Copies of this chain bind each other. A is one copy, B any other.
């Protein structure tokens, strides 16, 4: 059993940290908001406001923050890295661009600590159930030493390669596909709607045909609702597809379909739907193709 500092107790981070507690680890949880405090403490965790203090002498630092800038702030500005045990491991689980991960990994390794690039897929549902997919890039020995920690949070744990950044790259590919699959489902449904096809029947047909995707089945029902609950916001895909396209640019790999999809999320956010459920990218197609008169 290890002493873990866990930074970022959001919609996904909180249940992930709780799953670590359930497995018997000592977990010091850090968040800028007090919202997760009650549930986290009820599960046996120690809630703290200061990442440096939480990291003091800890064996593992898990970063489940929003982006690379926040991870760097915790590690270097708040000096959580320096507070860790000298033999500690930093596990970066946020969705970040490969280049940012590589730079963070180098600074962590230069301090003598180990680094695991370990982004996840599976959303809040996967985080709650411990059923996340984890895509890791790190030395095999570091992977094996920390596997029980990763298995406490995820079900499908992949060692993608030996270099930090390779997990981030696979997550980037994952988000490219997810982002396009949602947007193209919206494109298809909006055209069908304009053509007078009943969308409920269409969804039933498409969910069982060669046209199906995980996202069509998951987001499709919410595309048929006017104000669905928010499980993941439009602005997340503005950000994630921005990482995808920057990565493509860095690699000199043109991504014409992902680029077209991102424009639709940007337009959705621009129209004031940045905080809406990402299924509501369909509203941008309606705005494009129907206007006020329809």
Does A21 have its Cβ within 8 Å of any Cβ on chain B? Answer: no
Contact in complex: B288, A184 (CB < 8 Å): no
Contact in complex: B170, A192 (CB < 8 Å): yes
Does A174 have its Cβ within 8 Å of any Cβ on chain B? Answer: yes
Inter-chain contacts of A247 with B (CB < 8 A): 191, 195
A213 to B123, CA, bound (A): 17
Contact in complex: A255, B187 (CB < 8 Å): yes
Please choose the segment from A4-12, A34-42, A202-210 that sits at the chain B interface, where 4 or more of its residues have CB less than 8 A away: A202-210
Contact in complex: B123, A210 (CB < 8 Å): yes
- Using a Cβ–Cβ cut-off of 8 Å, how many residues does chain A contribute to the interface with B? 68
Contact in complex: B156, A211 (CB < 8 Å): no
Once A181-B213, A254-B289, A255-B187 are accepted as A-B contacts, the answer to whether A173 and B192 lie under 8 Å apart by CB is yes
Does A169 have its Cβ within 8 Å of any Cβ on chain B? Answer: yes
Contact in complex: A177, B185 (CB < 8 Å): yes
Interface pairs A-B: 7 shortest CB-CB = A213-B213, A177-B211, A191-B253, A260-B260, A174-B211, A256-B260, A253-B289
Q: Could you list 7 further interchain pairs (A-B, Cβ under 8 angstroms) beyond the known A173-B189, A177-B185, A184-B258? A: A156-B209, A166-B197, A177-B184, A178-B210, A184-B184, A210-B215, A257-B257
Could you give 21 example pairs across A and B, Cβ below 8 Å? A98-B195, A121-B210, A135-B205, A158-B205, A160-B202, A166-B196, A166-B197, A170-B192, A174-B209, A175-B211, A177-B206, A177-B213, A180-B180, A184-B258, A191-B255, A194-B253, A209-B214, A213-B214, A213-B215, A254-B289, A257-B261
A contact residues vs B (CB 8 Å cutoff): 98, 121-123, 133, 135, 156, 158, 160-161, 166, 169-170, 173-178, 180-181, 183-185, 187-192, 194-198, 201-202, 204-206, 208-216, 218, 247-248, 251-261, 263-264, 285, 288-289
